[in-house]
Amino acid sequence: MHPIKTAVEKECPDTVSCADILALSAQISSILADGPNWKVPLGRRDGLTANQSLANTALPAPFHSLDILKSKFKDQGLDTTDLVALS
């Protein structure tokens, strides 16, 4: 587990997700760089359970080619713009 996640889990067990930490980090980094500020909605909004078998088949691997990445994103209803934004 990442040191930041470990520290947060110690203070707030089972409360803050890794996605929350990343979203807050992006917001704070932008503010510190004199960039825009925005309200960060926290908490999981994608579901309450994880599906390891689906993640193992649906998520692209870091070594996949661009064609495979585009295909995997298309399978999820996403396009090349989504691929670039999420990468």
What pLDDT digit, counting tens, does each position of 51-79 carry? 788 878 888 888 999 999 999 999 989 99
User: Residues 18-45: what's their mean pLDDT?
Assistant: 87
* Higher-pLDDT residue of 13, 45: 13
Residue 46 is predicted with a pLDDT of: 67
Statement to judge: residues 5 and 40 lie in one domain: yes
Statement to judge: residues 55 and 40 lie in one domain: no
Statement to judge: residues 33 and 17 lie in one domain: yes
Q: pTM (2 decimals)? A: 0.46
Q: How far apart are CA 12 and CA 74, in angstroms?
A: 37
Residue 1 is predicted with a pLDDT of: 62
Statement to judge: residues 41 and 58 lie in one domain: no
Statement to judge: residues 28 and 56 lie in one domain: no
Question: What φ, ψ does residue 12 adopt, rounded to 5°?
Answer: -135, 75
Statement to judge: residues 34 and 75 lie in one domain: no
On the 0-12 / 13-18 / 19+ scale of CB atoms within 10 A, 21 is middle
Tally DSSP H helices, then E strands, for the chain.
5, 0
Statement to judge: residues 4 and 42 lie in one domain: yes
Domain ranges, residue 70:
49-86
Is 60 annotated as belonging to a binding site? yes
Residue 30 has pLDDT above 90, yes or no: yes
